[in-house]
Structures are given as C-alpha cells and as structure tokens.
Amino acid sequence: MGSNKLQANDDGDWEFLRYFTNCTRLQVIDLSDNTLGGILPSFIANLSSSIQWLSMAKNQISGIIPLGIGSLNGLEDLEFQGSGKYGSVYRGNMSLPSAVNVVVAVKVFTLQHASSSRSSMAECEALRNVKHRNLIKIITCCSSMDTRGNDFRALVFEFMPKYSLDRWLHPRIHEQTHKLSIAQLLNIAVDVADAIDHLHNNSCPTVIHCDLKPSNILLSADWIAYVADIGLAKLVGESIEQSSLSAGDSSTVGIRGTIGYVAPEYGAGGQASVVGDAYSFGITLLEMFTGKAPTDNMFREGLTLHLHAEMTLPEKISEIIDPALLHVEQYDNDAEILTCLSSVIEVGVSCSKENPSERMDMKHAAAKLNRIREGKYRE
C-alpha cells in the first residue's frame, strides 16, 4: 500500500489498520510514501506477531511510538522517517541541557551490511571535527548493544522540518508543496556550495562528500540548507579499499555515489576526489533550476542533463529553465532574471564537465554563486 495516496489525520482515519490485526500470517506492511498523519493508534500493537517489516516512512506521523509495539516479537525492521542502504532515519524527541523535548532526527545504522559499519565510522569521523553553518550538526552519537545482543550504532542530528530538497524539486502527487522561488533556490545553492568548499579547502584533513544529491540536502524551517549524509565520505590521506567503495540506494557496487550524480570517472575505477564532488554539485545545481533529474526518461541515447543545459547557453537559456520558476513571482526585468539564470547554469555546466581536469572547483563555484546572488556577477 505504499505510494497509494492513503490519508489519516486523527484516530478515526487510522481504523483501516485495525483490519490487519486479524491477519495472523502477515509478515510485511508497507504504508510508506502516503499522507498519513497524526498519532499512531495503540492497537498497532495488536498486529500479528509474525510481522517482520513495518514501514511508515515518508509520512507526517507525530507523537510517541506506542509502547505496546514492543510485543511484536517478530518485528525486525521498523521504519518511520526514511531509509537507505546503510540505515533508517527516525523522528524523535529528547531532552537536552539547553532545552526539553527537542525534536531530533535519529539515524540508526543497519550493521548487518558490512559496509554500513564503515559508513557509520566515516560519517562520525568526517563530522567529528568539521564545523560549518551549512553542515548538519550531530547532537550526540550512540554505540551500544540492542536487546538481542547485536551491535547498535546511531547518530542524533538536528531535525530539519522542511525535509530534503528533493521533496521540493519533485513533490509526490499527494504532497501539498509549493514551487521554490529563484531566490530560494539560489540561497540553497550558495549554502551547499559554501559547505562543500569548506569540506574541500578549509577542513583538515580534506573531506570528500562522495554522495552529494538533492535528497542529501536538508532544509530548516527558514529554508537554510544543510549538507547531510556524509556516510560515504573519504578523508583525504586514508587508504582506499576497493571493497569499501559501495554506494547508496541507486548505486552500483564499487562506485561511491548515486547513479546520475556520481562522477563518470568513478565508474571507470577512479578514486574519490574533490572534482568528483564538483561534478555531483554541478548536476544538482542544473536539476534545481531545470526541474529535470539526471535520471529523467528524456535523457537517453547519449543525451545527458549536462549536454541538455550546455546546448542552450547562452541565447536559449529560457528553453531549459523550469517554466514554473518564472511564474512563482513577478519580476520587473525578465531579461535581468534570465541573465542571472544563465550565469547559474554556466556554473552547473562548468562543474559537471566529463573531463575532471576541465571542471570548475568548488572554491570558484562558491565564489561565483555568491557574486550572482549579490548581483555583482560579471564575466
């Protein structure tokens, strides 16, 4: 029943779930990617003890998980916020020295995957000493044993109420989201560029993100962007074991990154590099302003998002810009806006060139995007 437009806002709306309490052999329930909100009913604990996997991810559920859910002895995977190859993210509440009942995001690593243990260590190491206003902040971490005696590792982050950029670029049918404005997208682009520039040029050791994409860019309540999910990160100077170069949800074994965003040289066995991050940033930037994901069905037979954008520069820029962007708000000078957008697309194209040696690095990309935003960009 995932991605099936199911809705729930109060206790009465959750009554459909009660019918499953009679299904004694039911092992899997997938309610992810719907519009289920409110508080989980207590009768969820009456589901079959045969249930092994229960997913409520990508909904708007709030409140406390019913304590009775612990009686589901066969339950192995419980997903609420979201999940990936290396673990699941949950929304929760905890008390901190500075505040009580703070909403947080908890990333629990799936240590059954050998690479997940490396991922958790990479993320902890990458974020331990790296501080920047646009990098997601770790509140605390946990390394312990669960009730079954298995290793347990988790990171607790600040919760981002606007979720990921991906959800605003490509909203699901049932989600009531609005189109982000050019100004909002430009602010997000600058935030991300500044964060990656910091990882590359102002942290010691240098950190390579390795999996930059819209779903790893989180947004705060006031639309500040935070780069997250540095689980594949490489610290420059560490040894690279080919067996550890595994990827995320849509990735292929042996490649750091996600299909569509991963640098071409990684697919040929190339090592992680700062120009690989620049490529991922360039593709992400083009996606933000064209509205087209790099895996869109239109990109086939040699046509890529990079070529699609490059062929329109500079005179035909209006042909690839997401048309909805120009209708979000009224602009006094359309020619000036198109010039601004053309400059942004040029940065995206320069960062995502196929040849690594020809790519714009993140220091220059961040500087140019800051100048564009400030209205001081000049060729």
Catalytic residues: 211
| Euclidean distance between CA atoms 124 and 118, whole angstroms | 10
Work out the burial of residue 125: count CB atoms within 10 Å of its CB; fewer than 13 is exposed, 13-18 middle, 19 or more buried.
middle
**Cis omega (within 30 of 0) on the bond before 264?**
no
Token readout for 27 is 């092992």
Looking at the DSSP bridge assignments, the partners of residue 151 are: 145
Residue 154, CA atoms < 13 Å, CB-side half-sphere:
18
| One-letter amino acid for residue 195 of the chain | A
| Euclidean distance between CA atoms 265 and 251, whole angstroms | 14
Query: Is there a contact between 82 and 115 (Cβ–Cβ < 8 Å)?
Result: no
| Euclidean distance between CA atoms 166 and 308, whole angstroms | 20
- Reduced to 3 states (helix: H, G, I; strand: E, B; else coil), residue 100 is strand
| Euclidean distance between CA atoms 173 and 177, whole angstroms | 10
Cα-based distances in Å from 147 to 63, 66, 107, 110, 143: 23, 18, 18, 15, 13
- Reduced to 3 states (helix: H, G, I; strand: E, B; else coil), residue 263 is coil
Token readout for 338 is 């198109």
Token readout for 321 is 């810009």
**DSSP E strand stretches across 291-352:** none
- Reduced to 3 states (helix: H, G, I; strand: E, B; else coil), residue 78 is strand
Rounded to the nearest 10°, the torsion over CA 301, 305, 311, 314 is 170
